[in-house]
Structure 1
Amino acid sequence: MMLRVLALSLSLCTPLVALADDSSAHNQLQAMAEANRSLNYTGRFLYQFGAEISTMEVSHAVIDGRQYQRLTHLDGRLVEVIRRGDEVLCLHPDRSLTRLNSQQAGPLALGDRLASDLPEQYNILVDGDGRVAGRHATRMRVAPLDTHRYGYRLWLDQESRLLLKSEIVDGSGVALERVEFVTLTLSPQLGLDHFAVPEARHEKALAPVAESHPSMKLAVTPEWLPAGFRAMKQDWRQAATDRAPVAARGFSDGLAAFTVFVEAIGENSVEEGVSRVGPTVAVSRRLAAPSGVYLVTLVGEVPQSTALRVIDGISVRDSQP
């Protein structure tokens, strides 16, 4: 989540048709990120997550300088994710609503994460040409230099620079998640009405915890993180007044990310274990600390071995004397 040569197998398993210098490859990613942000387009794509495959529809537009996007599941139960500037909303089949941050805005969020400078733990390779949705594409690889993160295969539209296809791959080159356009229309006429939010029955959200709450004194600290990963600000949320607050602290290298959740459980019994769907792993552990007993859960897109090493070094302590 092992030898360095295995980690490098992603970039060596097939011959490269063309290898660009580092600056050229970075320029291609920057052009892709700008296209994803600034162009108007509609399309349909396949989303494979583990063994599950869904068909989705996307509309994207820039209106008065703000980004708007609508993702709609076309099979199974109706779920939509709507982005209106900095606001991201998920609409569920029961007509409830959940607010997300921009990095959680559905399977196309990878393009946003690639917009920033990649850390030194990755190599960027240009891997020749291909075709996606009937369009000519440039193939690229984002290859990890260690075993603590996944690699990525990308197909960029040669005309618009949009990201037409992406795969998250393990150290053996097996695709764990795939997003692939099957149709694409550039420059459609889209207005604000295309991104209207339907009326919701209620909102699913974790309420912020008052600063005076005793739990706010607790600090969640990792003993070890993979190189390049940095901690984000710790946050506390409460699902209901009769439930203990849950701490959430995110960690990211700028591309890969995981979140550690900590909930006080006292003497209650809890289920520990490991589960994985596609590239997402979830690990739960019971932790006894001087300040109490907690359920610690790590969820993120990192290899299982990495998740286990991180969670085994998590400590919960009182941050105030």
Structure 2
Amino acid sequence: MMRTLALGLALAAPLAAPVAIADPTPAQALLEEMTEASQQLQYRGRFLYQLGGEVSTMELSHAVIDGKQYQRLTHLDGRLVEVLQLGDEVVCLHPNGTLTRINDNDTGLLAFRDRLSSSIPEQYNVLVDGDGRVAGRVTTRMRVAPLDNHRYGYRLWVDRDSSLLLKSEMVDASGLAVERVEFVSLDLEPGLERSDFQLPKVIAERSLESVAAASPERVHVEAGWLPSGFEAADRDWRRVADLRQPVTAQSYTDGLATFTLFVESVASDQVEEGVSRVGPTVAISRVQNLDQRVYLMTLVGEIPQPTAERIMEAVAIRATDKRP
């Protein structure tokens, strides 16, 4: 999952220590320019994506054609996978020659830049932190620091000329980077055209659709405790996997960090409880019984593990009325 940050008086500050801005306008203006640049400029670049101990090389192309955004994200090592944004549509090309049309535009790495806007939640403090260099270009460093330990912070490097985000790190409470995105090359005049975003012929297509009242029984998820600033979003969101029953899901966000609670009915011999982590992403599974049935609850999100475990301790499920 990857991430999108004027310069004003803050750039003239000493580099020996981070500069907390009493008037938030300069930092907010820089974030706003970063978001606008990522959406309006034409560019192509290669970057390294580090998640835990794994490092991948990717290429990102972006253009605005007839007023709509076009993006192509290509994995350059390992299996060939591409994610394309074609105006309002997002598609994923798989190495087996199939294509998935995605009706959910929050595609992790692409959507992160849009969430980093001028409206940073009050649970974070935005700091201008000197300057640096990324991909041979002069940058302005920024920090988005959480005010508690229930969410990760971010270190950002913004290109001084174009305002594009060239490097981002998601960091834990000790300052250790748990996820890193860093451009190694950038072309601001790539001459991209619609043909650069053309879909190849595929052998099969499928769609990930939301399911409306597809299940004979409905289960509602209740989070008994949430960190300050987190609110529910995307209520009763459902996905259908091949040969499986619909899964109830409830997403929560503070405006930057997100996590989702999934609930599905399972046979008792299918239950697997546990905890796993990959970089900043944690997954916790627990079991609850309701009306003589067994349900598996799973939390997946980019929040610290102790916070996720505390949330899971307070989660409850209840049956709701059937929809007509």
Please report the TM-score for the alignment, with normalisation by the length of structure 1.
Answer: 0.90
Match of 1:64 in 2: 66
1:160 Cα deviation after fit: 0.5
Q: Equivalents in 2 of 1:55, 1:285: separation in Å?
A: 35
Quick check: 1:318 aligned with 2:298? Answer: no
Equivalent residues of 2:99, 2:205 under 8 A apart: yes
Deviates more, 1:171-180 or 1:245-254: 245-254
Secondary structure of the 2:269 match is coil
**Matching residue of 1:115:** 117
Structure 2 unaligned regions, length at least 5 = 1-14
Distance change in 2, residues 1:228/1:55 (3 Å): same
Q: Which moved more, 1:38-47 or 1:217-226?
A: 217-226
Cα-to-partner distance string for 1:115-154 (whole Å, 9 max, x where unaligned): 2611110000000010000000000000000111000000
SS in 2 for 1:27: helix
113-122 vs 24-33, greater mean Cα deviation: 113-122
Partner residue in 2 for 1:103: 106
SS in 1 for 2:39: helix
Q: Counterparts of 2:123 and 2:313 in 1: how far apart (Å)?
A: 23
Shift of 1:78: 0.4
TM superposition shift of 1:210: 5.0
> Aligned pair count?
305
| Aligned residues of 2:31 and 2:118 also touching (Cα < 8 A) | no
Does 1:177 find its partner at 2:179? yes
Other-structure match for 1:283: 284
The separation in 2 between residues aligned to 1:214 and 1:15, in whole angstroms, is 62
Q: CA deviation at 1:318?
A: 1.4
Contact 1:259 1:298 in 2 (8 A): yes
Is residue 2:231 matched to residue 1:230?
Answer: yes
Q: CA deviation at 1:267?
A: 2.6
Distance 1:82 1:64, change over 3 A: same
Which residue is equivalent to 1:143?
145
Separation (CA, whole Å) in 1 of partners of 2:301 and 2:182: 22
1:76-95 per-residue CA deviation (whole Å, 9 max, x = no partner) reads: 11010101112111111112
1:141 & 1:37 partners in 2: Cα distance?
Answer: 21
**Residue 206 of structure 1: CA displacement?**
4.5
Q: Who is 1:211 aligned against?
A: 213
Distance 1:209 1:38, change over 3 A: closer
- Is the contact between residue 80 and residue 90 of structure 1 (CA under 8 Å) also seen in structure 2? yes
The answer for unaligned runs of 5 or more in structure 1 is 1-13
What is the match of residue 295 of structure 1?
Answer: 296
CA contact (8 A) 1:47 1:107 kept: no
Deviation at 1:46, TM superposition (A): 0.6
2:17 counterpart residue number: 16
Cα gap change, 1:114/1:214 in structure 2, threshold over 3 Å: closer, same or farther? Answer: same
In the alignment, the residues of structure 2 paired with residue 83 and residue 109 of structure 1 have an alpha-carbon distance, to the nearest angstrom, of 11
Checking the alignment, whether the CA contact within 8 Å between 1:103 and 1:112 is kept in structure 2 is: no
Measured against aligned partners, the alpha-carbon deviations of 1:20-78 in whole angstroms (never above 9, x if no partner) come to 33121111100100001100000111110110001111110001110000011111110
With over 3 angstroms needed to count, the CA separation of the structure-2 counterparts of 1:85 and 1:116, relative to structure 1, is farther
In 1, the alpha carbon distance for the partners of 2:118 and 2:265 equals 36
What is the letter of the counterpart of residue 182 of structure 1? V
- The counterpart of 1:201, out of the listed 200, 203, 210, is 203
Whole-Å separation in 2 of the counterparts to 1:200 and 1:220: 38
Identity, in percent, stands at 57
SS in 2 for 1:306: helix
CA distance in 2, matches of 1:299, 1:93: 25
Q: Deviations over 1:255-278 (max 9, x none)?
A: 000111111013333211111011
1:154 to 153, 156, 168: 156
1:6 is aligned to none
Residue 102 of structure 1 aligns to a residue whose secondary structure is coil
Q: 1:283 to 1:123 in 2, by over 3 A?
A: same
* Structure 1 residue aligned with 2:188: 186
- The structure 1 segments of at least 4 consecutive aligned residues displaced by more than 6 Å after TM superposition are none
